[in-house]
Amino acid sequence: MPATAQDALALYRRRRAFSTTSEPEGSIHPEPSDGDPVFVVQIHDARSMHFDFRLEADGVLKSWAVPRGPSGNPHDKRLASPTEDHPLEYRTFEGVIPEGEYGAGTVIVWDEGTYLNLTTGRDGQEIPLTQALEQGHASFRLNGRKLRGGYALTRIRESGGSDREAWLLVKHADRRASERGAPDPWRARSARTGHTLHQVAAEAAAR
């Protein structure tokens, strides 16, 4: 198994008490899942509302917090702040992370699907996604229930000193481009259950 996956999940696990949170502890997936790699976009009503954008690579979900959410408009440059790698099992997680836990608040799966890596080098050869991310630019086509078409993630700032690493998530100007920005998180519905953040929170409170 890639040592990177092991290390990455160590940070994910260190931040969480699995006796308290219903988030998955997850396992290492040394082999890629069958078929195309997966992506998920969760809406997370944490201290500040954001979308979590996650792409499968190297047996984990590479993750970014996108405050304004992915836009279908190629003119929108959406700030994406890297967060720790999450286990693949996280792609189905919906529920309420309890008060006092890391990321406390309600989570819904807003979109899910597969993606195709489109990143190529100057020679036209495909660059594996992990390597593309290390180099600071990845291009991919999403095949989700809501998000479709090409997107790019580009690192615009390295971490160092008081600077946190920063990326931009931008829609390709392809035939899937639209004027549509991200949805209102409070009105958005889960791709899995059709439920809103409010409904998921109410269901958790009733249990």
Residue nearest to Mn ion (CB): 44
Question: Closer CB to Mn ion, residue 52 or residue 111?
Answer: 52
Nearer to Mn ion, 44 or 155 (CB): 44
Number of residues lying near Mn ion (CB under 5 A): 2
Give the three-class secondary structure for 170.
Answer: strand
Min CB(8)–Mn ion separation in Å: 16
What are the CA-CA distances from residue 166 to residues 136, 137, 182, 183 (Å)? 10, 12, 19, 22
Minimum CB distance to Mn ion smaller for 67 or for 128: 67
Q: Provide, rounded to whole angstroms, the least separation between the CB of residue 31 and Mn ion.
A: 27
- Identify which of residues 44 and 62 has a Cβ nearer to Mn ion in the complex: 44
Nearest approach in angstroms of CB 109 to Mn ion is 12
Query: Is the CB of 127 or the CB of 201 nearer to Mn ion?
Result: 201
Least CB distance from residue 103 to Mn ion, whole Å?
5
- Residues 52-111, interacting with Mn ion (CB under 5 A): 52
State the chain's maximal CA–CA distance in angstroms: 57
User: Shortest Cβ distance from residue 108 to Mn ion (Å)?
Assistant: 11
In angstroms, the Cα distances linking 107 to 33, 91, 196 are 24, 11, 9
Contacts by residues 184-188 (CB-CB < 8 Å, ≥ 24 positions apart): 185/43, 185/45, 185/49, 185/51, 185/69, 188/43, 188/108, 188/110
Nearer to Mn ion, 23 or 56 (CB): 23
Instruction: Map the footprint of Mn ion across residues 15-54, applying CB under 5 A.
Output: 44, 52
3-state secondary structure of 12: helix
User: Which parts of the chain are beta strand (E)?
Assistant: 38-45, 49-57, 60-66, 78-87, 95-97, 105-117, 137-144, 148-157, 166-171
Site for Mn ion in 119-138 (CB under 5 A): none
Binding site for Mn ion (CB under 5 A): 44, 52
